[in-house]
Structure 1
Amino acid sequence: TVAAVDCGTPLNENLVRVQTEGGLVQGIGMALYEDVTYLKNGHVCENSLMQYKLPSRLDIGNVQVEFECSYEPTGPFGAKSIGEIVINTPSPAIANAVYNATGVRIRELPVTAEKIFKGLNQ
């Protein structure tokens, strides 16, 4: 997994790298795993982390982070935000990759094999 990030001027490169890795994993989790389902009586099926799937390092593998440094005149010392940038980008990238590979447009997360199969049969 590779992430290229423009965070302006990184004030602490190691901290930005770890923030990017964590946000990327969260974004992939949101895109592929995280889902809350309910029973007919309204109870949540995933009522603990034993049922609620979150990605682990084994699911994601190694993450390579590359910086495209720039200077943001409105940010402190030329820095930009990092947290929101990296968590929001995996979902559309994964959904568009599925569309490019299969022609099935997934518009609701998570992207699942069942949704792709259903789309292929429509």
Structure 2
Amino acid sequence: MAEAFKFELVSPERLLVSEDVESVVIPGAEGEMTVMADHAPVMTTIKPGVVTVNTAGGKTDRYVVFGGFADILPEGCTLLAESATHVDKLNREELTRRIQEAREDLSDASEHHERTRLEEYLGQLTTLEGAILPA
């Protein structure tokens, strides 16, 4: 059994998770990363994706996050999400709305750097849509 550590998932609306866990898989900006007890200190931005939480009690939960950042220390991990919800509570309409808004922002963008960022964000949202919502 892996050693447990404190994990918190916080969105502007509420605290979604605050418990001892064995591991957390987060969608870091540079790729997915698994956090376990005694992890080296790291701060990373989070891209839209799924956070998988493996609790100390053996339960697995999944949450959809739409950006933010994670502060990882040897004794715990705090993920501050721009927006987050349990994967079972995400509805197609909400995700479709976010994708449409990203498309509109992309069509209005004039600077190359902004267009590149929005293209990447739109790609992340559509990948997320394909990964968690049935066709």
Interval containing the TM-score (normalised by the shorter chain): under 0.3
Q: Higher relative contact order by CA 8 Å / sep ≥ 6: 1 or 2? A: 1
Q: Which is richer in strand?
A: 2
After TM superposition, the score normalised by the length of structure 1 is: 0.25
After TM superposition, the score normalised by the length of structure 2 is: 0.23
Q: Which is richer in helix?
A: 1
Q: Between Structure 1 and Structure 2, whose CA radius of gyration is higher?
A: 1
